[in-house]
Amino acid sequence: MSLTIRPARPDDLEACADLYDRVVRATFTWLALGDQRSKFLKEAEEEEVYVALDEGRPVGLAAFYRPGDHLHSLYVEYDAHGRGVGSALLAHVEALADGPVSLKVQALNAAARAFYARRGLAEVEEGHDPDGSHWFRMRRP
């Protein structure tokens, strides 16, 4: 794998929205999901989006909301799991942040919770969204 991480360019955002939609739908099988592509594109207007490329092909993305150093999204194509893409995206965002990065992860998303825990993030808060979904806020202790 030849991984490059860079800020997403305007012409990358459609491919990032497609990746986001694919991975969200495959991951959050317990949620009723609406139009994920439009949701991503709207949120990208206020976030810094970073794309991970393997030989020019988008294999992951991270959306960073700088106020509060909040990692809003980190998604990796399933065929790229276990190849360091998520770790590289997390490290990239953490290097840009002014303080410890925080994120919310769905309680039922055991794989993501384990991924972040293996990288030293801890569950520091627990809550529920208006739709009833249960989440944990994670950050470095």
pLDDT band per the 50, 70, 90 thresholds, residue 128: very high
Q: What is the pLDDT of residue 113?
A: 97
The tens digit of pLDDT for each residue in 10-62 reads 999 999 999 999 998 888 877 777 888 999 999 999 999 999 999 999 999 99
Q: What is the pLDDT of residue 77?
A: 95
- d(C-alpha 118, C-alpha 4), whole Å: 23
Note the pTM of the prediction, 2 decimals.
0.93
Contacts of 83 (CB under 8 A, 6+ apart): 1, 3
Class in CATH terms, 3-139? alpha beta
Break the chain into its structural domains and give their ranges: 3-139
- Report whether 26 contacts 34 (CB < 8 A): no
Mean pLDDT taken over the chain: 93
pLDDT band per the 50, 70, 90 thresholds, residue 130: confident
- Report whether 122 contacts 138 (CB < 8 A): yes
